[in-house]
Amino acid sequence: MEQIAPSQVADWACQQSLRPVLLDVREGWEVQTASAKADGLDLVHMPMQTIPARLDELDKTRPIACLCHHGGRSMQVAHFLLQHGYQVVNVAGGIHAWSAQVDPTVPVY
């Protein structure tokens, strides 16, 4: 499983042949508390527990970067997606690291 730092997401996105997805797998209240803004990616919110039922909403041809609070849930989702034939990386450290490395205006919670 490939992991990328939040500071590498923009460069990773530029290297993809299709516009990638930043898949935020946190709960709704977490996304309302702190959200990533990523140029070059389409932000999609699907709480972790909804992924199996909503799998057909994700395009297998588009690369996906999974994001959560600290990286644990997104790693589980990334493994699940890999098993189902998706191109996926995990954003190491999650939104917490995003705040430290990319956008300090994103609240830490």
What domain range includes position 84? Answer: 3-101
Residue 107 lies in a domain: no
Q: What is the CATH number of the domain that holds 9?
A: 3.40.250.10
Q: Are 6 and 27 in contact (CB under 8 A)?
A: no
pLDDT at site 20? 98
Longest dimension (CA), the chain: 35
Q: Compute the Cα dihedral for 6, 11, 45, 105 and give only its sign.
A: positive
Mean pLDDT for the stretch of residues 52-57: 96
Residue 33 lies in a domain: yes
Q: Are 14 and 99 in contact (CB under 8 A)?
A: no
Residue 106 lies in a domain: no
pLDDT at site 38? 85
Mean pLDDT for the stretch of residues 46-72: 97
Concerning whether 66 is annotated as a catalytic residue, the answer is: no
Residue 67 lies in a domain: yes
Q: What is the pLDDT of residues 7-45, one digit of tens each?
A: 999 999 999 999 999 999 999 999 999 999 888 999 999
* Token pair in block for residue 78: 């990334």
pLDDT at site 39? 86
Q: Which of 68, 77, 78, 81 is catalytic?
A: 68
Record the pTM: 0.96
Number of folded domains in the chain? Answer: 1
Q: What is the mean pLDDT of the chain?
A: 96
* Token pair in block for residue 64: 């996906």
Quick one: pLDDT band at residue 1, thresholds 50, 70, 90?
Answer: confident
DSSP β-bridge partners for residue 67: 24
